Amino acid sequence: MFHGSVPHVMGTRFDVLIIHSDQSLLNSLWKRIIMEMEMLDKMLNRFDSDSETSHINANAALHPVDVTESMWTVLQYCSSFYNRTMHLFDVTLGHFSNVELDESRSVRFKSEGVSLDFGGFAKGYALLRIQGILSEEGISQAFIDFGNSSLMGIGHHPYGDCWKVSLVNPYNNLVVDEFSLKDSSMSTSGNSPQKTKHIFHPINKLFNDEKKLSTIVADNPLDAEILSTVWMIADEEQQHIISNNFNNIQAKVYQL
Partner 1 sequence: MSLRQFIKDLGFITGGAALLNTIPWLESCTPEKLKEIKGEKARIAVIGTGSRGQYHIHNLKEIPHAKIVALCDNYRPNLLAAMSLCPDAKPYDDYHKLLENKDIDGVIVATPLNWHAPIVLDALSAGKNVFCEKAMAHSLEECKAIYNAYLHTNKVLYFCMQRMYDEKYIKGMQMIHSGLIGDVVGMRCHWFRNADWRRPVPSPELERKINWRLYKESSGGLMTELACHQLEVCNWAAKKMPESMMGMGDIVYWKDGREVYDSVNVTYHYTNGVKIAYESLISNKFNGMEDQILGKKGTMDLAKGIYYLEEDNTNSGMRQLIDQVKDKVFAAIPTAGPSWRPETKMDYTPHFVIESDIHVNSGLSMIGADKDGSDIILSAFCQSCITGEKAKNVVEEAYCSTVLCLLGNQAMDEQKLIVFPEEYKIPYMKF
Select from 124, 190, 202, 221 the one that contacts partner 1 (CB under 8 A).
Answer: 190
Question: Does residue 71 belong to the site contacting partner 1 (CB under 8 A)?
Answer: no
CA dihedral 234, 244, 107, 228 (to 10 degrees): 40
> What b/e sequence results for 31-53 when a residue is b if at least 16 CB atoms lie within 10 Å of its CB, and e otherwise?
eebeeebeebbebbbbeeeebbb
Question: Does residue 196 belong to the site contacting partner 1 (CB under 8 A)?
Answer: no
Rounded distance, CA 140 to CA 100, Å?
Answer: 40
Select from 45, 115, 149, 208 the one that contacts partner 1 (CB under 8 A).
Answer: 149
Alpha helices by DSSP H, 91-121:
none
Read off the DSSP letter of residue 48. Answer: -
Question: Does residue 165 belong to the site contacting partner 1 (CB under 8 A)?
Answer: yes
Cβ-based nearer residue to partner 1, 60 or 221 = 221
Question: Does residue 159 belong to the site contacting partner 1 (CB under 8 A)?
Answer: yes
Which residues make Cβ contacts (< 8 Å) with residue 250, sequence separation at least 6?
Answer: 216, 217, 218
Rounded distance, CA 110 to CA 92, Å?
Answer: 12
Question: Does residue 157 belong to the site contacting partner 1 (CB under 8 A)?
Answer: yes
Cβ-based nearer residue to partner 1, 72 or 254 = 254
Question: Does residue 195 belong to the site contacting partner 1 (CB under 8 A)?
Answer: yes
Rounded distance, CA 212 to CA 219, Å?
Answer: 23
Helix, strand, or coil (residue 233): helix
Question: Does residue 17 belong to the site contacting partner 1 (CB under 8 A)?
Answer: yes
Q: Over the Cα atoms of the chain, what is R_g? A: 18
Question: Does residue 119 belong to the site contacting partner 1 (CB under 8 A)?
Answer: no
Region of 23-31, 51-59, 103-111, 167-175 interacting with partner 1 (CB under 8 A): 167-175
Select from 21, 23, 24, 194 the one that contacts partner 1 (CB under 8 A).
Answer: 194
Q: Determine the longest span between alpha carbons in the chain, in angstroms.
A: 57
Select from 51, 57, 131, 188 the one that contacts partner 1 (CB under 8 A).
Answer: 188
Least separation in angstroms between residue 256's CB and partner 1 is 10
Select from 70, 148, 243, 245 the one that contacts partner 1 (CB under 8 A).
Answer: 148
CA 177 to chain centre: 21
Which residues form the interface with partner 1 (CB under 8 A)?
Answer: 1, 3, 5, 12-13, 15, 17, 19, 143, 145, 147-149, 151, 157-160, 164-170, 175, 178-179, 186, 188-192, 194-195, 213, 215
